[in-house]
Structure 1
């Protein structure tokens, strides 16, 4: 078994890269990941990326904010310190809609930022993890896991046929900026 972990095909043109993905998938070779310097429409469907569940996280965070807002208002104005203001009931729901709305938005915003940082591993102060440094500027990169039992020479030939300008065999997962 070789110590090559990933085979990287570097492309100059996104159309060539999409053609390379098609050629690899036609030959039953699974693509580990694709790195691009800009968004490419339709690549998620081609790679089989699942739909994000971020909307569920947003809903849960929003409901938590709503419940916290109503719970705080109920505790403060009904149980802890009830006051008679102009003969209104202690828990007049229409009066507390603005505060509840603001807490819903606040909890949702902070929850979404935390979920985004957790899911993408982009915590503040963490060094970026990049497989190929030029993928952030001008290259389109297809990464194939070399330990899946595919023939490396066949993969190299398929990438060259698709228009890869360079093929790299990495022995580690990420490249550091140092």
Structure 2
């Protein structure tokens, strides 16, 4: 069955694979995935992927951290156990806010960083002890792999990929 087959085109340079992606997309073919040993700047745009909304998520995580810091400093230092430290009584949170700025900053960064890591792992479906999904171990070392679905056009795709500089082209069953 042709529809379960894909072409794996290997490249050995990031600029060559970027140009190849542009050529394949311009020719009207769908690229399933590109596996790279390191991030390639501009590859997401060349593949036509939608921009990520992770920055918005980071902002809301930071706001959550700031809110927790404000609540925590108010509860601990003003309501629960007010203390006269260095002659500065704790009558209100607003009067003592300058002393709480480092705590607010650190918790903002802490929440944003830690929750972003968790969000990234969940969004990427990278779970602890998950088996690697890359189709060839060379993609973690020095090769780039473009995966294109086959629809009775093996010869056409092979000719196009050879023209774009692929060093190896294989037709494999997708599992």
TM-score normalised to the size of structure 2?
A: 0.80
Q: Does 1:41 align with 2:41?
A: yes
Q: Report the Cα distance in structure 2 between the residues aligned to 1:151 and 1:52, rounded to whole angstroms.
A: 32
Q: How do residues 82-93 of structure 1 correspond to structure 2 at under 5 angstroms? A: 82-83=82-83, 86=87, 87-91=89-93, 92-93=96-97
SS in 1 for 2:130: coil
Structure 1 residues 18-167: aligned runs within 5 Å: 18-83=18-83, 86=87, 87-91=89-93, 92-146=96-150, 149=151, 151-167=153-169
Deviation at 1:71, TM superposition (A): 1.0
Task: In structure 2, list runs of 5 or more residues that go unmatched.
Answer: none
> Is the CA contact (8 Å cut-off) linking 2:65 and 2:110 kept in structure 1?
yes
Paired residue secondary structure (1:8): strand
Question: How far off its partner does 1:105 sit?
Answer: 1.7
The superposition leaves residues 8-63 of structure 1 with CA deviations (integer Å, 9 ceiling, x where unpaired) of 11123444433432332232112122122344333232112333322212211111
- Residue 6 of structure 1 corresponds to 6
Aligned residues: 171
Kept after mapping to 2: 8 A contact 1:9/1:168: yes
RMSD: 2.5
Q: After the TM superposition, which of the residue ranges 50-59 and 110-119 deviates more from structure 2?
A: 50-59
Distance 1:115 1:10 in 2: 31
Contact 1:10 1:140 (8 Å CA) reproduced? yes
CA distance in 1, matches of 2:142, 2:47: 21
Deviations 1:100-156 (A, max 9, x none): 22211211221121122122233332222212222222322111123xx46233212
Flag the 1:99–1:2 CA change in 2: closer, same or farther, 3 A: same
Query: Aligned pair in 2 of structure 1 residues 157, 68: CA closer, same or farther (>3 Å)?
Result: same
5+ unaligned residues in a row in structure 1: which ranges?
174-178
